[in-house]
Structure 1
Amino acid sequence: MPTTARGLHVSLPIADRTSSMRFYSDTFGFELVGEPAEDGVPEPLMFRLDQRTLLVLVPAGGFDWVLGDSRGLAPAGTSECLLGVEVGTEQEVVDLVARIRDSGGEVVAEPEHKPWGYTALCADPDGHVWQIGIEN
């Protein structure tokens, strides 16, 4: 019997809640979920990506605690997954890459035409890599 997923949560470890909140709000324009805690950041720190998908940003110590003793966080500079966001036009790719750069993210690969579409690779301040693009 297939699993019927009611929702999908993508969780990433982060170093700083405030800077991560600002980065994802200002750069991607993702919808923040929840009421602010004492530090002005919702707890848990989540963004609604669509009706069924949440991006959950967890301080690294808490993320490590959830994983338990049998698994640890990936070493810095290691990408275990590639997140992707599809936009509508080449100009939107260019504009989003510029916002990422201006917000403290890293441009890993500048926008360019590939066999599968117009794409760029960028990393958030914690090093999580995002592929930004449009498909052919």
Structure 2
Amino acid sequence: MTRIHCVTLPVDDLKRSIAFYRNGLGMGAEEVEEGADHVALELPGGLCLVLILRSEFTQFTKLVRQGDAPKGASECILSFFAASREEVDAVLQSAGAAGGAVAGPAADKPWGYAGYVADPDGHLWEFLWNPRLT
């Protein structure tokens, strides 16, 4: 069975993005070495989130003859399954305080209680609580 092990996101400012993911979403990250073009954040469950400078990310899109996605274009939605409604609200608040663009308060949806935020580079995150998923 195929399993996702790593998600790679292009970013414009590595230090700013690490601050968002560390302070806003509580993800651990090592300090960025001077001149580094990427950083890997190890997440629970064996998943890895790689933040890579947009200029380096284009090396990979060119391999498959794709154009570069402009900043703010969401090619995917990254979802986080929270343990409670309160956790959804808390993460949205932290993400907003760390520079994310929160799309308003979380609300009940047919698939659960959800809120949305874009990180500093426009990548869309969904924070979702659904008792059937926890």
* TM-score, normalised by the number of residues in structure 2: 0.86
Q: Which has the higher contact order (CA 8 A, sep 6+)?
A: 2
Q: Distance in 1 between matches of 2:45 and 2:112?
A: 26
Partner of 1:129: 124
Q: Distance in 2 between matches of 1:100 and 1:112?
A: 17
Q: Distance in 2 between matches of 1:116 and 1:89?
A: 14
Q: Distance in 2 between matches of 1:18 and 1:36?
A: 7
**Secondary structure of 1:24's partner?**
helix
- Name structure 1 gaps, 5 residues minimum: none
Cα RMSD (Å): 2.0
Deviation digits for residues 23-73 of structure 1 (CA, Å, limit 9, x no counterpart): 10111111225x75236xx76311112242100000000001222261122
Give identity over the alignment, percent.
32
Q: Distance in 1 between matches of 2:111 and 2:58?
A: 35
Counterparts of 1:1-136 in structure 2 under 5 Å?
A: 2=1, 5=3, 8-32=5-29, 36-38=32-34, 44-68=38-62, 70-136=65-131
Q: Distance in 1 between matches of 2:53 and 2:32?
A: 16
* TM-score, normalised by the number of residues in structure 1: 0.84
Aligned pair count?
Answer: 130
Once the two structures are TM-superposed, the CA of residue 108 in structure 1 deviates from its matched residue by 2.2
